[in-house]
Amino acid sequence: MIQTADRLRKLPPYLFAEIDRKKREVRARGVDVIDLGIGDPDLPTPPHIIRALQQAAEKPEHHRYPSYEGMPAFRQAVADWYARRFGVTLDPDTEVLTLIGSKEGTAHMPLAFVNPGDVVLVPDPGYPVYAAGTWFAGGECHFMPLRRPNGFLPDLGAIPPDVARRAKLMYLNYPNNPTAAVASPAFFEKVVEFARRYDVIVCHDAMYSELRFDDYVPPSFLSTPGAREVGVEFHSLSKTYSMTGWRLGFCVGRREAVAGLGKVKTNVDSGAFQAIQEAGVAALEGPQDIPERYRKTYQERRDITVQGLRKLGWEVDVPKAAFFVWAPVPNGNDSRAFATRLLEEAGVVVTPGIGFGPSGEGFYRIALTIRADRIAEAMERLQELAW
């Protein structure tokens, strides 16, 4: 009998697999399912990026192994983009690392810096990869609850000093998945102070920074004084340019941390396809009118969702960024039971908050990644249910 390694048994049951099973069952009954559960952009990759890939794919020099760290041209484009967008100056040779999507970088980071028994500070609720990468490295997760009264920011003062002294990494993610919360420069200043006091490497996942609404502009953690000395920032082209399937991202910041992650990657992968990196250069350096139009599309969808939920009398905050709406389950019901009812009785899929960690219980997440008319129809279906 084949048995999996202990590290796999540490992983919690994958709630989203159960949701997929239920979706198949409901569709098999002939129900027109409206899926608000998947955070995958439905808007196409801008045409000029596709053309750049097509042209680059024909170059024979791209048909061989790429460089481990990433093409100099792509890393320079990342550094230039950071300078334009955030006013942050980066050395493309030592402070920028190309990733096969930001997910693999965040997952591999503990392998570079965490020994068995070390602690990693992980947001709860949060992206499951932060905890999974920690467990794969033999580390221990200390979960930082994200509470609505605190703006879904971790309470750094609540972390026990003995835990903080054992911590090697801290994961943060703003704008946040799943809560759509945002962080202020003042909060990032507190993070820098905490990291200096306890010698913790901050790993800020900033992949939703360009999905911003109204007049809000999210800051970079690295623009905080002292942040370059204590941490790195992960970013991706997936959400900004609708390139989730292309798998291209980057890690930037403290050079020792970037080098450590780079050493892991040289031993576990062979780098990103260089033609895709050329397309990444076209994305970062090319016209930004289409991403701006996409932002307005997501904002329209956000407004339809918020208005629909409030019409039901349900409590909901208006997100400033990211393409999620995170809201309390009505009447304090169980998030799984609530999501199951919506699927079975209305054919509407939402994600129960418990899927993102224990502190997500009592909430649900809606992804704004389907057409506005379908979102409006979903809201109408919810109106028809007896609440």
Residues 357 and 250 in one domain: no
Residues 268 and 309 in one domain: no
Find the helix packing angle between 289-311 and 372-384, rounded to 10°. 10
What CATH code is carried by the domain that includes residue 193? 3.40.640.10
Determine, yes or no, domain membership for 183: yes
Q: Provide the domain count of the chain.
A: 2
The per-residue pLDDT for range 36-81, each reduced to its tens digit, is 998 899 999 999 999 999 999 999 999 999 988 999 999 999 999 9
The per-residue pLDDT for range 13-32, each reduced to its tens digit, is 776 777 888 889 989 999 99
Which pair of tokens denotes residue 72? 């100099």
Are 251 and 97 in contact, with CB atoms under 8 Å apart?
yes
**Listing from the earlier edge strand, what are the strands of the sheet with 363-367?**
324-328, 363-367, 351-352
Determine, yes or no, domain membership for 358: yes
Q: Pick from 262, 285, 308: which residue ends a domain? A: 285
Residues 229 and 88 in one domain: yes
Determine, yes or no, domain membership for 216: yes
Is the pLDDT assigned to residue 252 strictly greater than 90?
yes
Residues 68 and 39 in one domain: no
> Whole-prediction pTM value?
0.95
Residues 206 and 302 in one domain: no
What CATH code is carried by the domain that includes residue 313? 3.90.1150.10
What percentage of the chain carries pLDDT values higher than 90? Answer: 91
Residues 217 and 178 in one domain: yes
- Does 51 or 7 have the greater pLDDT score? 51
The per-residue pLDDT for range 94-139, each reduced to its tens digit, is 999 999 999 999 999 999 999 999 999 999 999 999 999 999 999 9
Domain boundaries, position 10: 6-44+289-384
Q: Pick from 268, 285, 302: which residue ends a domain? A: 285
Residues 298 and 243 in one domain: no
Determine, yes or no, domain membership for 57: no
Determine, yes or no, domain membership for 94: yes
The per-residue pLDDT for range 143-196, each reduced to its tens digit, is 999 999 999 999 999 999 999 999 999 999 999 999 999 999 999 999 999 999
Q: What is the DSSP letter of 62?
A: G
Q: Looking up tokens 């999905």, which residue turns up? A: 211
- Does 197 or 386 have the greater pLDDT score? 197
Omega cis (within 30) before 60: no
Residues 27 and 148 in one domain: no
pLDDT at 386: 67
CA 351, CA 184: separation in Å to the nearest integer?
27
CA 210, CA 324: separation in Å to the nearest integer?
13
Residues 109 and 96 in one domain: yes
Residues 131 and 220 in one domain: yes
CA 242, CA 355: separation in Å to the nearest integer?
24
